[in-house]
Structure 1
Amino acid sequence: MYAILDIETTGGQYNEEGITEIAIYRFNGHKVTDQFISLVNPEKAIQPFVVNLTGINNKMLTTAPKFYEVAKRIVEITNDCILVAHNAQFDYRVLKNEFKQLGFDFERNTLCSVELSKKLIPGQASYSLGKLARSLGIPVSDRHRASGDAQATLKLFKLLLAKDKSKNILEESVKNSSNTLLTPKLLNIVDELPSSTGVYYIHRSDGRVIYIGKSKNIRKRVNQHFTGSSKKARALQKEVSAVTYEETGSELIALLKENEEIKLNQPHFNRSRKRKIFSYGLFEDMNPEGYITLHIEKIKPKGNPITTFTSIHEAKNTLYKLTEEFSLCNKLNGLSDAKSHCFNYTIKKCIGACIQKEDAEKYNERVIMAINKYSYPHKNMVLIDKGREIDERSAVLIEGGLFKGVGFYNLNFQLNNIHILQKVITPMDNNADAKHIIQSYLRKKKGVKIIQLITEK
């Protein structure tokens, strides 16, 4: 649980600042569950430059509650929470100092969205909240007011959670949770999960992720883990202390995140998924006579297959089907050991490329059609699918025929601004498994919208 915090102050000498406004959003990693927003009478004058910056003046605060009157509410809403603020060191110091004057020792774990942004979104010109939000397409209202800045920090933090592929933020959150949250009955864990599409993370008591999975119904799938009787299920049930999750809306995003994060985090109970899912690939080549040939081989680290397969049997079956569907040559595709023409030429299913009777250019046109069946529709494109909320969409970015990553954007955002899109995208590895997931998903035609990107020359 997190408490997204922003504080406005009077300005002045170090540790003598008074709070003039405070906004706190209690956030469970998915939605706001509580909020507290209030002006505060600091019982001291506001510095003139601060009045110009925030618009909050001394007159506005004469009837506002004093800090001791809101202190109990602040303690309650931040209980069992990690404080998240943009420049958390400042907000936490000011807040602790106010409580210290009341004789109360206010202690909370903190996360700084400035430091997280530098780590997860490197290379930005500025990490000030306003400039960073603008560069990422995050709308900001009431800048330099506690509520507006806290909302912007909340939206930024949601983006940072999505970009944290190593799950360090989630693991730290689970580790720092109270013991009552770490040892509930399995039934209570399931009751807290949504029946929506996304990726889920099973943690042990030290916060470590021991299993990553995806489902169109997270609650149902986790319940299956907890009620399973296999050796693996029973071992998992003994170690589980908490389950966190990330809703994705789109099944494609969930598949890609699961694939990426299992490879990156190597969870103990994902043994079968740590290795490559798809070991064989369909490759193209050109023979000395100018004919494009297709062949199957094992995928190498720097290989760029047209499409991928889990087994040699599946790969050869697909190549046989393609050869027949597009009237290609068995011999050129390595499916026949004939010394002269292939058998299909005898039964008139091959036009004669094997003996150079068919023109190479005409033959290659059909090969390209076969290749396109298992290729991306465009070299540069964005795949648009459902988002996590009604006013949001998910995006999968392909540039130069390579998978770049996934992200989410608000419907108010103009997608033609590729520079902002590149910043909100969580980078992912362009491996054979990811390519197969995307191609398979597109072939199923699940309503994914494809937007071709026009690259700048």
Structure 2
Amino acid sequence: MLPSITFLDLETTGATPLKDRITEIALVRFDDGVETARWQTLVNPQMDIPPFIQSLTGINNAMVEHAPLFSEVASQLLAFLEGTVLAAHNVRFDHGFLKTEFKRLGISLQQKVLCTVKLSRLLYPQHFSHGIDAIVARHNMVGIARHRAMGDVEAILRMLADARQELGEAAVQSAAQKLMAAPVLPAHIDASVIGELPETPGVYLFYGENDVPLYIGKGVNVRARVLAHFSGNKASSREQRLTEEIRRFEWIPTAGELSALLLETRLLKMQRPLYNRQLTHEQSLYSWQLDPLSQPVVRLVEAADIDPSQMGGLFGTFKSKKQATEALRKIAERNGLCLKVLGLEGDRSGPCVAFQLKRCKGACCGQELAELHGLRLQQALIAHKLSLWPYAGKIGIEEYNHENDLRQIHVFEHWVYLGVAASDEALQALRTQTTPRRFELETYKLLLKVLSQKKTRVLNLAS
């Protein structure tokens, strides 16, 4: 399939490389299509294996008590991996554990990788699931030691053998080559840095000559997002110019997608990179505020005048005064509301023009009670009403990523973002913070979306 490829699987004490450890390693290496090595070993993780993991894998504490430490098999494992592509099912998981274990020994693992989950998707796009259990069932495999390292490796090898028979060797090679197609980096980019890119959420920053900020982006997989910029498929000359101007890049890991988005937004406003101009442009914001006791009964307010704690009387989010006025005029016309009462018709005595044309029910000349007109206005505006803050006070939205062991809590109050805490001390400081912040439409829309998702972990910080 490839000149040299090693199929590997690990069993571990859990899912977090920085906290959990490897309990078993198995691999099968092929060179020029011929199996040249097959190796497996239990590994003493130097920590207890959780009961759930013991029941899942069948590997218990007694089995690994006298097994070698990772440090004792590291050199042998490196020899198996030398000059080969590391292939694994969800290779991000196995590669992450190996990099962490080698890092503890002062070794930086630089390894080309191939994900057999992605390979299965390319070979069998008609199927929805591509986990090992699904593959075992789909290919009618029997005698597979599921959840043991060598058993899972053998499941993948059998799947590929079936693919060669069903689809042909050329199709398997083509799919593998497609996944391995490496982006071409400009000569001035240090290729060794690519190996350090994390396959976890975060923000990345591109800089040009004299450290001029060029571009800031985010992704749930920073490595994939950065490499995509250097792929051969440039959608525009602008993207081509960007890659030519990059002299160095850096990245900041985050706990999740929300954390990456919020950090990206903050950095864009601070650095204003050249190729993010359209994202850093600060748009004006206007909204209609309803006050039945005033005349006119609605007034246009700008973002700076919006009190985030008093959102119940605001309707609509508009980019300009003209857009806001046109929207209100259309609402009035559809619902027979009085333009004069709404302040959309200049001061003049007598009924409004719309009343004379029988398009107004007469709130301007006593033919309709002001209270009734006010109720009709509220009903007409209800679809545009901004949401009240649904909590008693501050909340925290928590994200945790087990791969990089990052925990971040983002604190909000009345739709306003107050900051991020990565420690209990920082969280306490944000809980007691009283500095007012300006209402921002992008934060409001983001929170509406995030808070509607069941997976969002919300912490009540009001008590």
TM above 0.5, one fold? no
Given the two structures, how large is their TM-score scaled by the length of structure 1?
0.43
Tell me the TM-score normalised to structure 2 length.
0.43
